[in-house]
Amino acid sequence: MTTSHIDNVTVSTQASVYFDGKCVSHAITLADGTKKSVGVVLPATLTFNTRAPEIMECVAGSCEYKLDGSDTWVRSAAGDTFSVPGNAKFDIRVTEAYHYICHFG
């Protein structure tokens, strides 16, 4: 099930802008201290590096991703999630705006 809204959060109003504006996200903190980010990736092929493990949840649009060490591109669309280990990287290909929630683990 796709997350449509998140209640009781604090939102950072300053956006994090990556890759010359091709990825824009806002940090949010839930009442229990859990941190997430919500954002959009515009059409591009990009490589992201992680510090902590992440679960990427697609809330709209779609992408293809390839985890570090894999040669396989996997499609992710609204309602899908994929996990990325900490201290790793992944490639993402976007042909239509990919709206996401990043759940840090």
Share of the chain above pLDDT 90, in %: 94
Round the average pLDDT of the chain to a whole number and report it: 96
Model pTM score: 0.93
pLDDT of residue 36: 97
Residue 43 maps to which CATH number?
A: 2.60.120.10
Residue 3 lies in a domain: no
Residue 29 lies in a domain: yes
Q: Is the pLDDT of residue 2 over 90?
A: no
Report the domain count for the chain. Answer: 1
Residue 53 lies in a domain: yes
DSSP assignments along 41-77, one per residue: E-SEEEEEE-SS-EEEEEEEEEEEEEETT----EEEE
Residue 1 lies in a domain: no
Residue 51 lies in a domain: yes
Q: Which domain holds residue 86?
A: 9-104
Q: Binning pLDDT at 50, 70 and 90, where does residue 14 land?
A: very high
